[in-house]
Structure 1
């Protein structure tokens, strides 16, 4: 039963990340309901992992609040979008700090490559202004790489 809950939570998270990425590419928006669903879905995942509520999940929730506060400051100065901040904070409920740091590094690399590609496209099209960057795509890519690691490591080399 517990494995089913864990795998089901991860599969649902993957689907929500796809919805976030596609929606951000199409509308440059990550809806609040999606970020809330990602956050709430972490509860059955943590329960299935066998982690203790105290201090395990409460520590993780505190980490997510700290992440939200830091990213909200970046939103306040206009560096990040609100949906990106909320999605990254919701993902902080899923990953311990070290894995979350890896996630952020992967998101930064994916976001940099995405920005570079869109800047080139923008220049080639001779478009005016600054291109919009659907960072939800980079967030989903980074999260997929972190989520895929345990799957890949279970197979012998």
Structure 2
């Protein structure tokens, strides 16, 4: 019974943290490290709650998270993404199996592209000379929330 509560409660906490991170990134262009850490540190409890075996299931999830984090760390290195965004993507990747993770990354790219276009247009019309910073955490949060539906609704099959 306790794991059933966790299997529904933990994604609820993740959803709250994602919404909070998206709002924070939109407002101040930063994502608090404690939010990224909380998302990452709650993932193992989620794995236990949904019954993943330590080997190979949990190891695969950890590997996927590290792979995604590493790939986006390269983007950070070249100045294409912020550090908070990279940490958020890596933390969310710990929650999603491979196929929903790929779907999340695709949705994140599309939402991020639309967000970038909207902000570029607004920036052009406002004739502002400041450097344009895209709050990509918004796209990550939206894609993460949509990606949650797969493991949440299909965990018992």
User: TM-score, normalised to structure 1's length?
Assistant: 0.91
Work out the CA distance in 1 between the residues paired with 2:100 and 2:149: 12
CA distance, structure 2, for counterparts of residue 27 and residue 12 of structure 1: 22
Deviations 1:74-117 (A, max 9, x none): 11111111011111011111011211111010000000111111
* Correspondence for 2:25: 24
Match of 1:34 in 2: 35
Deviation track 1:33-91 (CA, whole Å, cap 9, x = no partner) reads 11110001111111110111111111211221121111111111111110111110111
CA pair 152-51 structure 1, distance change in 2 beyond 3 A = closer
Query: Which 5+ residue runs of structure 1 have no aligned equivalent?
Result: none
Q: Is the 8 A contact 2:64 2:93 kept in 1?
A: yes
Aligned to 1:128: 129
C-alpha distance in structure 2 between counterparts of 1:65 and 1:132, whole Å: 26
Find the aligned partners of 2:150 and 2:96 in 1 and give their Cα distance: 13
Q: Distance in 2 between matches of 1:140 and 1:42?
A: 16
Unaligned runs of 5+ in 2: none
Q: CA deviation at 1:150?
A: 6.5
**Stretches of 4+ aligned residues off by more than 6 angstroms:** 150-153
CA RMSD of aligned residues (A): 1.6
Structure 2 residue aligned with 1:90: 91
State the Cα distance separating 1:6 from its structure 2 match. Answer: 0.9
Q: What is the number of residues matched between the two proteins?
A: 153
Question: Once the two structures are superposed, what CA deviation does each residue of 1:3-32 show, in whole Å capped at 9, x if it has no partner?
Answer: 210111000000000110011011101111
CA separation of 1:152/1:4 partners in 2, compared to 1, >3 Å: closer, same or farther?
A: closer
Query: So what's the TM-score if we normalise by structure 2?
Result: 0.91
